[in-house]
Structure 1
Amino acid sequence: MPQATADDNEWDDENLMSVEACSKFPEESAFKFHIYYNSVQKGAWRNIGYRVYNFDVLRPGGSNPGTYQLKFCLTDSASTPPAGAGTRIKNNAASGENTHPRYTAHVYFNSGYKGAQDVMAPYQYIDRFRNVYNENASFQWTS
């Protein structure tokens, strides 16, 4: 697993643009961390495959110099979008689920993998974040 570095945006392309992020439901995605707008894994969601230094400042590579916010998915499967669809993730997530068989998932209060955190072991979920409920800014895996 690559080590995190300051203002680490190495995987932003994948987290922003991969079909695994929003085109697949959490149980079908190859991305193994799922973050939700509401408690008990309800409402809008996003699948995250790689660490995110700051949910509000993703910098995809290539010729695009801009920055982007990571947002909850807009799904095509429902006539009415779920609560939180299209909302930025930073400071708006209430629950999470780790479906990775080996890595532990960490959601942090501050950007840069700092501050209070909620931790999910492999195959663990948290129905309501205890430490970062609606106050979340970054995410990373640890082994």
Structure 2
Amino acid sequence: MASLLHTEGEFMKRAGVVFATAAAALLISSPAYADWPPGSDADNLGNEAACDIPYESAFKFHIYFNSGQNGAYRNIGWAVYNFDALRPGDGHDHPLKYCITGGSRPLPGSGQKIKNNAASGENEHYKYTARVHYNSGYKGPYDAMAPYQHIDRFRNVYNQNASFLWA
């Protein structure tokens, strides 16, 4: 009986085709914003670092629902022009929301929108100042946090915050 694969080279070619087909299927099934470059709204929305424990996150700005860095939080890695309208490339605007944390007893603010709903923040970046602005588009009054600084209660944008910028 003749072998279906006559040579090792033919086996390797067929194995490569199977691998390439599987890889293509995986890419097609991934969310549309997964292909967007780092630094985009998609990264702030879909990156796992956004909901890591703040001091373990690769994203170095942490915004909190309650004063004193308490309640629900969201880690932000890139500038956000409008907390209520991030555009990951799927044709729709998406609000940035607090992570759902706390298990069976969710922390206050879990899952709520961040826009006009933040009380405190913390900047763990070694180099850049973090600014939370009153208006979308990095406009209006803002609270600034130098590297490694936190604000227990925003002075200028307490529950009136619409955008974030590294400066």
Q: Give TM-score, length-normalised by structure 1.
A: 0.88
Amino acid at match of 2:111: G
Q: Give the paired residue count.
A: 129
Distance (whole Å) between structure 1 residues aligned to residue 55 and residue 119 of structure 2: 18
* 2:97 aligned partner: 71
Distance (whole Å) between structure 1 residues aligned to residue 69 and residue 45 of structure 2: 21
Compute the RMSD of aligned alpha carbons: 0.9
1:43-80, CA deviations, whole angstroms, 9 ceiling, x for partnerless residues? 0000000000000000002xx111100000012x5320
Q: Give the secondary-structure state (helix, strand or coil) at the position aligned to 1:106.
A: strand
1:102-141, CA deviations, whole angstroms, 9 ceiling, x for partnerless residues? 0000000000000000000000000000000000000000
**Displacement of 1:11 after TM fit?**
1.3
* 2:122 aligned partner: 97
Equivalent in 128, 146, 150 of residue 125 of structure 1: 150
Q: Give the secondary-structure state (helix, strand or coil) at the position aligned to 1:68.
A: coil
Equivalent in 49, 58, 61 of residue 20 of structure 1: 49
Note the residue ranges of structure 2 that are not aligned, 5 or more in a row.
Answer: 1-38
Which structure 2 residues correspond to residues 1-143 of structure 1 after superposition, within 5 A?
Answer: 11-22=40-51, 24-61=52-89, 64-75=90-101, 77-142=102-167
Q: Give TM-score, length-normalised by structure 2.
A: 0.76
Note the residue ranges of structure 1 that are not aligned, 5 or more in a row.
Answer: 1-9
Identity %: 64
Amino acid at match of 2:156: N
Amino acid at match of 2:72: A
Structure with greater helix share of residues: 2
Determine which structure has more spread, i.e. the larger CA radius of gyration: 2
Amino acid at match of 1:114: K
Distance (whole Å) between structure 2 residues aligned to residue 26 and residue 85 of structure 1: 15
Distance (whole Å) between structure 2 residues aligned to residue 11 and residue 65 of structure 1: 14
